[in-house]
Amino acid sequence: MLKKLAIAVAFLSSAGLAHAQSFPVMDMSMGIHRIEAEVAYTLEGRMQGLMFRQTMGENHGMLFVFPEAQRHCMWMRNTLLPLSVAFLDDKGQIINVEDMQPKTENNHCAAKPARYALEMNLGWFKRKGFAAGAPLGGIERAPAPQ
């Protein structure tokens, strides 16, 4: 039995599934649009992000909470979904939005120091009409970074 369990864990690990973790979820908003965001506020969570996910709902995303405002960069290693990332300042206003393609290692960076990043399905911000200056509602309820 233990041997079968060890083989299953090795398989899941190679598929990237054994490293999946659950994230707290919070409701947020942009304009009239409700967003259900998983929150990556720990170093481990920020490193895992949305890797290995195969689907994500239309108004679902992931909020990354950074310990300090910097010109943070994102990449798509082991990320299977095309995404758009909005970099946000301390108040939750969009600094810039970058589109990212799956399984690439290109850096997509904040145009100036950002405290948060919100990843959504590719093109979400553009389809909803959100660009630099748009506020993300609910950011004040985000957990403190670790």
pLDDT, tens only, 11-44: 333 344 444 578 999 999 999 999 999 999 999 9
pLDDT at 80 over 70: yes
CATH number, position 52: 2.60.120.1140
- State the pTM of this model: 0.86
Mean pLDDT of 106-131: 98
Two structure tokens written together for 11:
């398989």
Q: Residue 117: what pLDDT?
A: 98
The beta strand positions in the chain, using DSSP E, are 25-30, 33-40, 60-70, 73-74, 83-88, 94-100, 108-109, 114-121
Residue 3 maps to a domain:
no
Q: Residue 93: what pLDDT?
A: 98
88-103 pLDDT, tens digit per residue, is 999 999 999 999 999 9
Residue 80 maps to a domain:
yes
Our count of domains for the chain comes to 1
